Amino acid sequence: MSGTFIGMPAFPKAARDAVRDTTLRANLRHATHTIRDKRAVAVAELADWAELREAGKQIKNETLLNLDTYLVQLEEAVTAAGGTVHWAADAAEANRIVAGLVKATGETEVVKVKSMATQEIGLNEALEAEGIRAYETDLAELIVQLGEDRPSHILVPAIHRNRGEIRDIFASEMATWGREAPDGLTDSPAELAEAARLHLREKFLRARVGISGANFMVAESGTLVVVESEGNGRMCLTLPETLISVVGIEKVVPTWRDLEVFLQTLPRSSTAERMNPYTSMWTGTADADGPTAFHLVLLDNGRTDTLADEVGRQALRCIRCSACLNVCPVYERAGGHAYGSVYPGPIGAILTPQLRGTQSEVDASLPYASSLCGACYDVCPVAIDIPEVLVHLREKVAEQGGPGHRLEKAAVKAATWILDHPAALAAGERIASRTRALHPKKLPGPGASQWTESRDLPEMPAEPFRDWWKKNRTGDRP
Give me the pLDDT at residue 404, please. Answer: 56
Q: What is the mean pLDDT of residues 394-409?
A: 75
209-212 and 242-248 as β-strands: parallel, antiparallel, unpaired? parallel
% of the chain residues with pLDDT over 90: 75
Cα–Cα dist 64/368, whole Å: 27
Q: In which band, very low, low, confident or very high, does the pLDDT at 453 lie, cut at 50, 70 and 90?
A: low
Q: What is the mean pLDDT of residues 85-105?
A: 98
pLDDT of 417 higher than 80: yes
Give me the pLDDT at residue 6, please. Answer: 44
More confident call, 247 vs 406: 247
pLDDT of 478 higher than 60: no
| pTM of this structure | 0.86
Give me the pLDDT at residue 1, please. Answer: 54
pLDDT of 148 higher than 60: yes
* Lowest-confidence region among 6-15, 222-231, 416-425: 6-15
Average pLDDT, the chain: 91
More confident call, 427 vs 228: 228
pLDDT of 452 higher than 90: no
DSSP category for residue 289:
B
Q: Which of 148, 149, 116, 159 is nearest to 348 (CA)?
A: 116
Query: Is the distance from CB of 80 to CB of 223 less than 8 angstroms?
Result: no
pLDDT tens digits for range 283-326: 999 988 899 999 999 999 999 999 999 999 999 999 999 999 99
pLDDT tens digits for range 205-226: 999 999 999 999 999 999 999 9
**In 271-402, which residue ranges form alpha helices assigned H by DSSP?**
303-307, 323-327, 329-334, 345-356, 361-365, 375-379, 386-400
Identify the helix (H) or strand (E) that includes residue 283: strand 278-283
Give me the pLDDT at residue 254, please. Answer: 98
* Lowest-confidence region among 37-51, 84-98, 336-350, 433-447: 433-447
Please count the other Cβ atoms lying within 10 Å of the Cβ belonging to residue 316.
25
pLDDT of 99 higher than 60: yes
Give me the pLDDT at residue 186, please. Answer: 96
Distance of CA 271 to the CA centre of its chain: 16
Indicate the residue type of 162: N
More confident call, 386 vs 436: 386
pLDDT tens digits for range 174-191: 999 999 999 999 999 999
Cα–Cα dist 41/30, whole Å: 17
Q: What is the mean pLDDT of residues 132-147?
A: 96
Give me the pLDDT at residue 14, please. Answer: 87
Give me the pLDDT at residue 12, please. Answer: 85
Cα–Cα dist 352/342, whole Å: 9
Cα–Cα dist 55/258, whole Å: 9
Q: In which band, very low, low, confident or very high, does the pLDDT at 411 lie, cut at 50, 70 and 90?
A: confident
Name 321's bridge partners: none
Give me the pLDDT at residue 439, please. Answer: 78
Please count the other Cβ atoms lying within 10 Å of the Cβ belonging to residue 180.
17
DSSP category for residue 251:
G
Cα–Cα dist 389/312, whole Å: 6
Q: What is the mean pLDDT of residues 328-332?
A: 95
Give me the pLDDT at residue 462, please. Answer: 85
Give me the pLDDT at residue 443, please. Answer: 67
Q: In which band, very low, low, confident or very high, does the pLDDT at 474 lie, cut at 50, 70 and 90?
A: low
Q: Which of 227, 164, 242, 230 is nearest to 201 (CA)?
A: 230
Give me the pLDDT at residue 470, please. Answer: 83
